[in-house]
Structure 1
Amino acid sequence: MSHVRESSKLFTSLLLTLMRAARWDISAAVRSIEAATASGNENFTSATTSIVSTHHAKYALESYISRKIFQGFDHETFYMDGSLSLLINPDQFRRDCFTQFRDMKAMDPVELLGILPTCTFGKFCSKKYLAIVHPKMEESLFGELEQRRQVLAGNHPRSQFYGEFLGLAKAIWLLHLLAFSLDPAPCQFEASRGAEFHPQYMESVVKFSEGRPPGGQIVGFPVSPGFKLGNGLVIKARVYLVSRT
């Protein structure tokens, strides 16, 4: 999970840098992300106020990316097809998942997709890239839609931006393979906006000088999901906290 978090932070940082270079109104983008989180709408919408300070914009953007890339995580193929392998032959499916996890762990995703661009992982990357980077965003950041055209054609761009995205996609894919190799599979959970802060299940993305959040903090928005394993171990959900008042 630590690899997922680091990859997510790196891609978020690059995307935020590109947005600033393209003179995006970051505050407006953050307000839109917050509104989408509150309404459950996956697309950017308009809003007038923000609970996020300007220097914390990266957390709102990471929340948006996380919602998109984790969508479908509970299904064996991220709902890319109607596979029922887990139900038909669960033991074999779990073994296959672990074998794929072990084999892919050391692979360079760029090299892998250069050889097998339309493999299942390649299809996952295409689906998630198109979900995260919508046409207006890409055109604003790069002045054209060349990367999107390549992805839609079943190819994978050799750009720095897409390469950073592949790092995140691979981390999520490996986590998914590992999760589905376990019996039972981990239970994914996400903190709800406005929920009380529970340190046994949640971790604040903002560090506090006291070492822990002060009293009266609630979830402003979820940043990334948590997982509860079959043995009772909890991987905490990451959240952005705000004061209740």
Structure 2
Amino acid sequence: MSQVKETSKSFTSLLLSRMRSAHWDIAAAVRSIESATNTPNDHENTTAAIGSHHAKYALESYISRKFFHSFDHETFYMDGSLSSLLNPDQFRRDCFTQFRDMNSMDPTELLGIMPTCQFGQFCSKRYLSIMHPKMEESLFGDLEQNRLVSAGNHPRSEFYGHFLKVAKAIWLLHLLAFSLDPSPTMFMATKGAEFQPEYMENVARFSGRGLPVGQIVGIPVSPGFKLGSVSIIKARVYLVPKK
């Protein structure tokens, strides 16, 4: 999970830098991201407490949600495979073999050889999900990367290279999770929920010695994982004062 965390933070920083270079209204972008994730049951107005200088957490949350969508299915629902149910022991062995073989591979080189492999399909779907055409055109001035990815190819750009590092880290985590018996259960913190240190990790630093009283989840940044009732990876959250 450390690779997921580091690559996600790096890609988020690059995307945020692109937004600033394109003179985006970052505060408006944060509000848009937040409004897209609010539900009728969100009673706490946490968005107002989130400063634009912490937009990176809202953006990372958006990227994380897109990448981890359908993580609990053996192929991210890219097909209707039921191998994990039909032959679970063999499936777990295959997942670990793929994890071991792919761990040291350069994703750019791998996709240069097999652009439409299952990992390549995952990358294509996630890129197109994260990078809306209008967003890409605003940031890069054209839709060249979108056209390449839509055609089943993978750009050799610096930006797409950073994206692939996140994709590989999450793909490896998925393979590792499905090689275990039982598989870990993914969970997300809920916006407006009380901070629970046994299940959550605060991403922002507070001045002083301890966490201020009355903090709640303002942004669920990335998921956590449990094995049975034990939290093995904490969910990362951005905290805000309770109103």
Per the normalisation by structure 2, the TM-score is 0.95
Deviating above 4 A after TM superposition, structure 1's stretches of 4 or more consecutive aligned residues are none
Q: Does 2:79 correspond to 1:76?
A: no
Asked if the contact 2:224–2:231 (Cα under 8 Å) also holds between the matched residues in 1, the reply is no
What is the aligned-residue identity percentage?
A: 73
- 1-structure distance, mates of 2:9, 2:200: 18
* Corresponding residue number in structure 1 for 2:162: 164
Cα distance change, pair 108–211 in 1 and its aligned pair in 2 (3 A) = farther
| Structure 1 residue matching 2:121: 3-state secondary structure | helix
Q: Does 2:190 correspond to 1:192?
A: yes
Deviation at 1:50, TM superposition (A): 3.2
* Corresponding residue number in structure 2 for 1:152: 150
- 2-structure distance, mates of 1:141, 1:156: 18
Bigger RCO of structures 1 and 2 (CA < 8 A, at least 6 apart):
2
CA deviation string 1:82-127 (max 9, x = no partner): 0000000000000000000000000000000000000000000000
Unaligned runs of 5+ in 1: 41-46
* Corresponding residue number in structure 2 for 1:203: 201
Deviation at 1:231, TM superposition (A): 8.0
* Corresponding residue number in structure 1 for 2:16: 16
Unaligned runs of 5+ in 2: none
Amino acid at match of 1:204: N
Per the normalisation by structure 1, the TM-score is 0.94
Please identify, of 157-166 and 203-212, the stretch whose mean Cα deviation from structure 2 is larger.
203-212
Asked if the contact 2:57–2:219 (Cα under 8 Å) also holds between the matched residues in 1, the reply is no
Amino acid at match of 1:196: E
Deviation at 1:234, TM superposition (A): 2.3
* Corresponding residue number in structure 1 for 2:213: 215
* Corresponding residue number in structure 2 for 1:43: none
Asked if the contact 2:199–2:231 (Cα under 8 Å) also holds between the matched residues in 1, the reply is no
* Structure 1 vs Structure 2 CA RMSD: 1.5
* Corresponding residue number in structure 2 for 1:38: 38
* Corresponding residue number in structure 2 for 1:53: 51
Please identify, of 201-210 and 97-106, the stretch whose mean Cα deviation from structure 2 is larger.
201-210
Amino acid at match of 2:37: T
Asked if the contact 1:72–1:78 (Cα under 8 Å) also holds between the matched residues in 2, the reply is yes
Cα distance change, pair 210–184 in 1 and its aligned pair in 2 (3 A) = farther
